[in-house]
Amino acid sequence: MTAVFNPSRRDMLKAAGALAAATLPIGDALAQIAVPFSAGTEPPKTAVPAHACDAHIHIFSMRFPASAHWKGQPVADSDVAAYRLFQQRIGTSRTVVVTPSTYGTDNRATLDGVAQLGASARAVVVVDLDVTEAELKDMAARGAVGIRVNFVTPQSWGVTTAERLETMARKVHPLGWHVQVYMTGDQIADHAEVLARLPTPLVIDHLARLLPGQGLNHRAVPVVRKLLDGGRTWMKLSGAYLNTTSGPPAYADATEVARLFAKAAPERMVWGSDWPHRGEKHMPDDAGLLDLLADWAPSEAARRRILVDNPATLYGFGRS
């Protein structure tokens, strides 16, 4: 078992400085640095193409307090300084920062992180029903390209309903944004008709959070397949450790699901690390999580599509 690493900001900046000053070959230098909130030290075995995107992370900073509604894990600095170490190790360069439940509808940490990361980053924000058009346009100017609607963890407004989901989708549709949903497999199955009629592109979090142990037999699988076949739904190949009973390193049960989705709509799959893995007692090895793509999408061309081309389309990155 790997102990959770909770470094101070000073530790992270010191490590970043050591990396910048290192004269060793990059692989040797990285092997001496533990990335905060991530097990292991080795880079991925799978080749990572230029402009690869990590399409799901969260930025936390103690400069921004948790929302009053949040009673879970407190805010700790898992900020841009720490994430840059992650990028050095994993090899990704583009990033999508998603506002976590911890912050409710306060998107300051997310947008501040995107500002620091620059043109290589985009934001997916969380907003309430009373958000104004001017506020949405301001966030769009600062890198926001979508909203997240969470049915799983506590939200500042209380219970998330289908009505809220539809209302929010109509509100952001004029901006050309997508709607990202965090739902369990059962919730996806229960809301199949609502999800199919949303006016925006739909992004499903974390392999659809199918109940571990059911996998491909879960009743949400045909629902997700139908949504993917409709041509406007995207899937985040992320969170294997959230959808498993078999566990690392192969996550065999989650891998079965990921293979199915990646084959069904390879042009609408994106990969995300879910760093800094909030709530996990034992940090996953992020290099290992990326290496799972070699099993989920065996060809180099398919992995380039998932890591580079698809995120460029969904999040508006320039093509290279």
What positions carry a catalytic annotation? 274
CA 236/CA 274 separation, integer angstroms: 10
CA 264/CA 284 separation, integer angstroms: 27
Residue 222: cis peptide before it, omega within 30 degrees of 0: no
Question: How many CB atoms are closer than 10 A to CB 301?
Answer: 11
What's the Cα-to-Cα distance from 168 to each of 149, 158, 165, 206, 277, rounded to whole Å? Answer: 8, 15, 5, 21, 27
Measured in whole angstroms, the distance separating CA 57 from the mean position of its chain's CA atoms is 5
For CA atoms 24, 27, 29, 31, the dihedral sign is: negative
Residues in CB range of 142: below 8 A, 6 or more apart? 111, 114, 115, 123
Burial class (CB in 10 A: 0-12, 13-18, 19+), 197: exposed
Residue 276: cis peptide before it, omega within 30 degrees of 0: yes
If you write DSSP's letter for every residue of 154-203 in order, what string do you get? --TTSS--HHHHHHHHHHHGGGT-EEEEE--HHHHHHTHHHHHH-SS-EE
Q: Which strands form 53-57's sheet, in the order they lie side by side?
A: 53-57, 94-98, 121-125, 144-150, 178-182, 202-204, 233-237, 269-271
Residue 53 in contact with residue 311, Cβ under 8 Å?
yes
